[in-house]
Amino acid sequence: KSIIKHSKKRKFPIKVKLVISNNPKAKGINFAKKNEIDFEIIRSKKTNIFEKKVYQQLNKRKIKLICLAGFMKILSKNFINNFNNPILNIHPSLLPKYKGVNTHFKVLRNKDKYSGSTVHLVTPRLDSGKIILQRKVRVYKSDNVKSLEKKILKIEHGLYSEAIYKFLSNL
């Protein structure tokens, strides 16, 4: 939603052409509809079939950059290498700490003073690509998984768009 809002600004370096989800109830689909952006709902439990359909949609629209947001599937090495263009992801931790899932729980369990979010390049190794931008939030003793998740989500809205701008400015 935030990337679409930013993409409507005159100086933003990208135009959102397509939203893809495997969830027909995803909020991003409704937002795409409201903003007259093409969308596709691709549902398949088989990774190779799912990725083939995604790849076809990307090629059809000549997509040159993928921005993963709320995307809870791991793209295969084959897909990443064959796309041949940058894929960005936003992850709710200060990578390289806490790759994968349950990041907020891990932060709280380890009593970290800070957590945050990271926008990084996607590589075949999970959450290990080059870091483009990070933003920190303070973790308080009163925080729980839900409050930390909410705090981080709030900073992610501006962070992702900022990272896209920074990444494309450095190409």
Active-site amino acid positions: 91
What the block records as the tokens of 31 is 């937002």
Closest by CA position to 8, among listed 163, 166, 161, 169: 161
CA distance 171 to 166: 9
CB 138 within 8 A of CB 131: no
CA distance 19 to 102: 25
Task: Quickly list DSSP for 120-139.
Answer: EE--SSTT-SPEEEEEEEEP
Cα angle 35-39-41, degrees, rounded to a multiple of 5:
140
CB 67 within 8 A of CB 88: yes
Instruction: Tell me whether strands 18-21 and 38-41 are parallel, antiparallel or unpaired.
Output: parallel
What the block records as the tokens of 120 is 């990084």
